[in-house]
Amino acid sequence: MSAVIDDHSHGHEHAHGPAKGLMRWVLTTNHKDIGTMYLWFSFMMFLLGGSFAMVIRAELFQPGLQIVQPEFFNQMTTMHGLVMVFGAVMPAFVGLANWMIPLMIGAPDMALPRMNNFSFWLLPAAFLLLVSTLFMPGGGPNFGWTFYAPLSTTYAPESVTFFIFAIHLMGISSIMGAINVIATILNLRAPGMTLMKMPLFVWTWLITAFLLIAVMPVLAGVVTMMLMDIHFGTSFFSAAGGGDPVLFQHVFWFFGHPEVYIMILPAFGAVSSIIPAFSRKPLFGYTSMVYATGAIAFLSFIVWAHHMFVVGIPVVGELFFMYATMLIAVPTGVKVFNWVSTMWEGSLTFETPMLFAIAFVILFTIGGFSGLMLAIAPADFQYHDTYFVVAHFHYVLVPGAIFGIFASAYYWLPKWTGHMYDETLGKLHFWLSFIGMNMAFFPMHFVGLAGMPRRIPDYNLQFADFNMVSSIGAFTFGATQIFFLFIVIKCIRGGAPAPAKPWDGAEGLEWSVPSPAPYHTFQTPPEVK
């Protein structure tokens, strides 16, 4: 691809760069500023959610009650899940989308810049509200991040109302962000940038945005039904009034399963840019990657009841959801095959982004295998609500989403900051994260298969050894992320100046602009050959 960049002012009052001071960030409509704010916010939430996880692992370091009350332990598991899913992973990918999509498609900015600003600033408000529940009478939400009724309706602390409102705010923010992504990709591509020429990251985000618009209103619906049950005398989830707690699970997981793909698809896209760059050859099977992404998105809507095999759904339903769930492995397998084929006979180098991307492929595949085990309905009767499930989804989300975010951050940091990060420190961060992550989550498979239940602050003596290993791994992984913060700040403050294209094999329009990327880019659209 070749690109012509024109940075003349064109009569825009802000063309010469950002305003000064705090108001630049409060009022900005610039996609790079907003992307940066999303990324910093996400990292702060990652540390907060991680600190909740540290409390959980400290309590589980030994059998017996160590440091917190059981009620507070439940608040920690709940808040850890909510903050990590809605506060760390999703805003990180929205930040990457804001920064990179306009650069990748040759757009001057996002299509709806003021809405972009609003959708970001809803998030600090939502999470202030969510975290403040911990300081309210009765404590914060204590019913798990899936907030199953009737636990979350009949027995909830008073603060549940604030939790519901916080969820609404996050949902509004997500929907606006998704509308913006779709409007941008469909309307602001540079001349010659056809849909099938877009980088895979843009494709995965386009499909993710449609998923968000489809399922966020469902989440809003289920928390509103909760609110009505708690305060307005309805009985959606109360059997005494003719309702059904299983209805909650159906509605929640109809949102919840596409949600886990919302958290993983942008990582698929980022890795599909990173692996070709460090293999120095084009992505193998681009078209099949696009179709596989679409297939995953479609299938994500028809597998939700695999979370509910034990509630007593009809056996025909169990069979349908079992086979549909296994079917998702096919397009995912296509992706893994294509990533491996891209590396095959490439001129590989192993810089930090590539290390995270390769770890992503390997560990995500392990998470996928344990997912296939959980998809088998009769086997799931044994696995359900044990630590095996915790092991499975942390093997999907930590190497999947989090490693995908780290890979992207290292890959694009030179473009964002104009400096190279310290490669030695980056590799150290990778290896400590990799070892800590596997130490933390692999033993959970064993204790889960041995029957250790989830969401408990105390456990039988037989599980003690693996839990101690798990906790040490978790502390290692957690502490390592403070080190990542140091690497990023060191990169921003200085470091070798980055060229426009710091990676040999990197392709795409984002590498045609200088590093750091100017405040305004592509005000005259580039020509895509």
Q: What is the 3-state secondary structure (H, E, C) of 154-205?
A: CCCCCCHHHHHHHHHHHHHHHHHHHHHHHHHHHHCCCCCCCHHHCCHHHHHH
Which of these is catalytic: 57, 168, 189, 257? 257
| Opening angle at CA 187, ends 185 and 193, nearest 5 | 65
Which of these is catalytic: 33, 59, 109, 318? 109
Which of these is catalytic: 42, 77, 133, 272? 272
197 assigned to active site:
no
Which of these is catalytic: 145, 148, 459, 519? 145
Which of these is catalytic: 31, 32, 57, 335? 335
Which of these is catalytic: 38, 99, 261, 410? 261
Name residues whose C-beta falls within 8 Å of residue 211's C-beta, 6 or more positions apart in sequence. Answer: 258, 261, 262, 265, 297, 300
10 assigned to active site:
no
Which of these is catalytic: 14, 454, 455, 490? 454
Judged by DSSP in three states, 1 sits in: coil
Rounded distance, CA 308 to CA 249, Å? 7
306 assigned to active site:
yes
Which of these is catalytic: 28, 174, 352, 433? 174
CB 497 within 8 A of CB 90: no
121 assigned to active site:
no
454 assigned to active site:
yes
Rounded distance, CA 140 to CA 121, Å? 23
* Chain-centre distance for alpha carbon 143: 22
Name residues whose C-beta falls within 8 Å of residue 248's C-beta, 6 or more positions apart in sequence. Answer: 148, 149, 222, 225, 226, 236, 237
CB 31 within 8 A of CB 99: yes
Closest CA to 204 of 283, 304, 142, 290: 290
78 assigned to active site:
no
Q: Cis bond leading into 453, ω under 30°?
A: no
257 assigned to active site:
yes
Computed from CA positions of residues 503, 504, 505, 511, in that sequence, does the dihedral angle turn out positive or negative? positive
332 assigned to active site:
yes
335 assigned to active site:
yes
As given in the structure block, the two tokens for residue 416 are 């964002």
| Opening angle at CA 448, ends 447 and 453, nearest 5 | 105
272 assigned to active site:
yes
6 assigned to active site:
no
As given in the structure block, the two tokens for residue 352 are 């930090």
Name residues whose C-beta falls within 8 Å of residue 309's C-beta, 6 or more positions apart in sequence. Answer: 318, 321, 322, 377, 380, 381, 384
Name residues whose C-beta falls within 8 Å of residue 512's C-beta, 6 or more positions apart in sequence. Answer: 1, 2, 3, 5, 500, 526
DSSP H helices in 60-112: 70-82, 90-105
Name residues whose C-beta falls within 8 Å of residue 180's C-beta, 6 or more positions apart in sequence. Answer: 110, 111, 112, 115, 116, 119
The CA-based dihedral angle spanning residues 512, 514, 519, 521, taken in that order and rounded to the nearest 10 degrees: -20
Which amino acid, residue 190?
A
Please spell the DSSP secondary structure of 374-439, one letter per residue: HHSHHHHHHHTTBHHHHHHHHHHHIIIIIHHHHHHHHHHHHHHHSB---HHHHHHHHHHHHHHHHH
20 assigned to active site:
no
145 assigned to active site:
yes
Rounded distance, CA 362 to CA 354, Å? 12
| Opening angle at CA 89, ends 69 and 87, nearest 5 | 55
Q: Residue with structure tokens 């969820």?
A: 167
Which of these is catalytic: 32, 57, 307, 429? 307
Catalytic residue positions? 80, 109, 145, 173-174, 257, 259, 261, 272, 306-307, 332, 335, 454
